[in-house]
Amino acid sequence: MGVVTFTELKHSVSGKKTLRPCLSVRHGNEWPLSEVASDLTVEVGEASFPLHKFPLVSRSGKIRKLLSENKESKITRINLDGIPGGPESFELAAKFCYGYAIDISLANVAMLRCTAHNLQMTEGFSENNLELRTELYLKDSVFPITSNSIAVLHRCENLLPVAEEINLVGRIISGIVSNVCREQLSSGLSKLDRSLSMAAGSDPSSEWWEEAMAVLSLEFFQRVLSAMKAKGLKQETLGRILVNYAQNSIREIESSSNRRFSDPEAQKKQRMMVEAVVSLLPTHSRKSPVPISFLSGLLKASVMVSASSVCRADLEKRIGLQLDQAILEDILIPSSSNGNGNHQMYDTESAARIFSVFSNLKQDDEERDGFYEYDSPKSPKQSLIFKFSKLMDSYLAEIALDSNLPASKFISLAELLPDHARSITDGLYRSVDIFLKVMLSVSFSH
């Protein structure tokens, strides 16, 4: 096989051509680059590319080095396993070396940027090389646009560790955070003229990119949200992003409530998800932007996946702080099975801790949150106490139906609410009546 000169290839590689990449096991037949016989076969994974040395060494420092390492023997075959993106990415890079006008897009820019790094396709070897071309695309079409940045960041998940080594991941995250903070500032300034903002085509709610972040892996999502926290993004916005991201995972866990996890790895992954989401929640507050229904769903999921006690305690406190917004369903936390079939339906100890958080709120906390004096009969605080007592009695009536509930636990829960906080006792008496009837029924059955 003779040595191919660049002059011989001039006619075949001169002039820009546009070809769509067609990945197949028969690359050579589907990609007629030149009438000149191939003098180098490049292997990438299971694919083989019959190519020519000169176009490749003119653009790629790595291939030039591989071919120059052994000058005594003629190299006709090289292996490039480990290229980010595999055969698909190499095919595009090779076409670029031959002068074809490849289409750089959101779908492949991260892959091509990592490939350019791997093959050393830099300006040191050729002007306007692949590294520069991808960097220009990132600068013009990715970094300035939040949704595009999120899409490319998602692509980076399959390009590690190279995407980290070239700091592509870090730069994209920084771009996302800068854009979002800028949008937050712009949104705040434009609230007085909302109609003008809408006419300009902007989305005041920014829901589009919040939902787009749901495609990210847990690791990347954590890094983005942590960076947003550090930049001082609004708690309300952080809460919405977190809820959007976690909802699908919570639904998956809840859907498995009738079957125990058969795969320990799957349970471990779900547990990591729940604990990570909890660690990212905004600061504890009675005015938290995170809905109590979402917190309740997280707590129920934490039971299913056996999350840490620290994680569960954090959620119990958050729910307790917002208990005035709760409905009965929010505090019906299922108990974890002990395997003998005689376990309680609901985790009453968890509920007791939640009720205790609310009932033990300090007066200074309440005053800071804008409450009136307790003695005022129509004060917001009195209204909260009434809601609290009504919720407690509804909960007692529900758990009273559980034949496995010990009397001691029922009584301790009923005593959490002091007498003066219960203006009407009908609910309590109804709960006690239900409990006694259930206990009597159990005694007769034995």
Q: Of the ranges 178-182, 199-203, 330-334, 419-423, which is most confident?
A: 330-334
d(CA 386, CA 324): 9
Residues 124, 64 contacting (CB under 8 angstroms): no
Compute the radius of gyration of the chain from its Cα atoms.
32
Beta bridge partners of 51: 40
The residue ranking higher by pLDDT, 360 or 48, is 48
In this predicted structure, the answer to whether residue 131 has a pLDDT above a threshold of 50 is yes
Q: What is the mean pLDDT of the chain?
A: 79
Kindly report the CA angle at 339 between 335 and 344, in degrees rounded to 5? 30
Q: How confident is the model at residue 58 (pLDDT cuts 50, 70, 90)?
A: very high
How far from 181 is each of 111, 234, 258, CA to CA, in Å? 28, 9, 43
* pLDDT reading at 366 higher than 60: no
| pLDDT class of 253 with cuts at 50, 70, 90 | confident
Binned at pLDDT 50, 70 and 90, residue 16 comes out as very low
Per-residue pLDDT reduced to its tens digit, 183-199: 776 655 444 444 444 44
Q: Which domains does the chain have, with CATH numbers?
A: 6-122 (3.30.710.10), 143-189+204-233 (no CATH)
**158 pLDDT tier (thresholds 50, 70, 90):** very high
DSSP codes joined into one string, 413-433: HHTTS-GGG-S--HHHHHHHH
Tell which wins on pLDDT, 65 or 423.
65
Task: Give the global pTM.
Answer: 0.75
pLDDT at site 5? 37
Report which of residues 117 and 341 the model is more confident about: 117
Comparing 370 with 160, which gets the higher pLDDT? Answer: 160
Please report which confidence band the pLDDT of residue 159 belongs to, taking 50, 70 and 90 as the band edges. Answer: very high
pLDDT at 359: 81
Query: For position 176, what pLDDT does the model report?
Result: 94
Choice between 187 and 52, residue whose per-residue pLDDT is larger:
52
pLDDT at 443: 59
pLDDT for 71 = 66
Task: Look up residue 372 and give its two tokens.
Answer: 């009136």
pLDDT of 434 > 60? The answer is yes
